[in-house]
Amino acid sequence: MEAKLIKKAALGEIVKKIAGQKPVYAPIKEGSKVHFKFLKKGESPFLDYANTVNAPKNLFFPQTETLMHYTKTARGSELVEESETNGEMVLFGVRPCDVRSFKLLDMVFDQKKYSDPYYVDKRERTTIIALACRQPPYSTCFCTSVGGHPAQADGADILISELDDDYLVEFLSPKGEKLVKLFGDLKAADDQALSRKKELSDEAVAAIKSHIPATEIKTWLDNNFEHPFWDSIHQGCLACGTCTYLCPTCHCFDIRDEAQGDDGIRLRAWDSCMYSIYSLETSGHNPRPGQKQRWRQRLMHKFKYFVDNYDAISCVGCGRCVMSCPVNTDIRKIVNDIAQLN
Ligand code: SF4
Ligand code: SF4
């Protein structure tokens, strides 16, 4: 479908209208921070945001999720699996780096051989509306170093790009086209609008000043598991797990049962490779006994193991881990330092 234009002032109302028909998960301002949350009735999304504190992965892969209920009986246990088919949802206002994170999460959760029904169900019934970055939100953004682009959103159903007085709206998939009517009066985008989009897109790329040699360190990682470099990168790390919880591509989880009397639930909850008990075995042995081994795992997973398994780097350059680490651990510096060892 050809690109369309809407007046800037109309967008908030359009999203409010969509939210009147189906749940919309969108940026909401709380104090000085912006988080993805479900819009309440009559609520508009917050549009003047750089990026959200939390990653939108929470919608498809919640921090805690009930997988089944069980009841112990004389004959054993009766299990009732949670079945989530609650209708269509809309994820609005996703920045291009976070849209890319879904492609990476799909590689893990939606494989031919192993498909995670809880993730896939929510993913399939959600329409993703991306909002291009006109300027990179933060100095810590490095999406272009890991295969991303601040103004393109491969994987989104609708891409909205801010121009001067208008938004340019592109309906990129049949799922996206289903929402056309809710956008109301749309004007076809003329050549001037399209070339302005291209100009602003180029400016957004040029404005990204943070670059890392993310694709150049793989051979070093392949060959230097025991290098003395790993002895120092973790220093200062508090093992708080913030970097992994905010990361749009981190996806480790734990499954546990919680029971009360004869009834219980089986739930899954996010886990973090930064935690000391993450790899602790029942015998008491821990193959990653210190923060050094845990940080090496985090780096190796994103820049080597994921590349080995899926031919992609498991980082979209959103910079959340850099901005939120309480002791200023900077994954960009670590990658740069490794490149110097090459
Ligand atoms: S956010 Fe910083 S301190 Fe916390 S686990 Fe990550 S690297 Fe360590
Ligand atoms: S590792 Fe850091 S910069 Fe990369 S996607 Fe995760 S939070 Fe964003």
pLDDT in tens, 314-327: 999 999 999 999 99
Q: What residues contact 228, with CB distance under 8 A and at least 6 apart?
A: none
Q: What is the pLDDT of residues 57-89, one digit of tens each?
A: 999 999 999 999 988 888 777 777 766 667 999
Q: 213 lies in a domain?
A: no
Of 184, 206, 228, the residue that ends a domain is 206
- pLDDT of 83 reads 64
Q: Tell me which of 232, 242, 322 to substitute to probe ligand 1's pocket, judged by most ligand atoms within 8 Å of the beta carbon.
A: 242
**What is the reported pTM?**
0.94
Query: Is 240 close to ligand 1, i.e. is its CB under 6 Å away?
Result: yes
3 and 166 Cβ atoms separated by less than 8 Å = no
Mean pLDDT on 235-253: 97
184 and 122 Cβ atoms separated by less than 8 Å = no
Number of C-beta neighbours around residue 218 at 10 A: 15
Q: Tell me which of 237, 305, 316 to substitute to probe ligand 2's pocket, judged by most ligand atoms within 8 Å of the beta carbon.
A: 316
pLDDT at 18 over 70: yes
Task: Give all strands of the β-sheet with 4-7 in edge-to-edge order.
Answer: 33-38, 24-30, 89-94, 126-131, 158-162, 166-171, 4-7, 187-188
pLDDT at 190 over 70: yes
Q: Give the tokens for residue 120.
A: 């896939």
* Element spanning 242, H or E: helix 242-246
Q: 211 lies in a domain?
A: no
Burial class (CB in 10 A: 0-12, 13-18, 19+), 78: exposed
Select from 146, 147, 136 the least CA-distant residue to 51.
136
Q: 333 lies in a domain?
A: yes
The total number of residues shown for the chain amounts to: 342
Residue 271 is part of which domain span? Answer: 218-341
Say if residue 27 is in the same domain as residue 72.
yes
Say if residue 189 is in the same domain as residue 251.
no
- pLDDT of 64 reads 96
Sign of torsion over alpha carbons 255, 39, 100, 141: negative
Say if residue 9 is in the same domain as residue 111.
yes
Q: What is the mean pLDDT of the chain?
A: 94
- The DSSP result for 244-308, as a single string, is HHH-SS---EEEEEEEETTEEEEEEEE--TTSTTTT--TTS--SS-SHHHHHHHHHHIIIIIHHH
Q: 287 lies in a domain?
A: yes
Say if residue 147 is in the same domain as residue 27.
yes
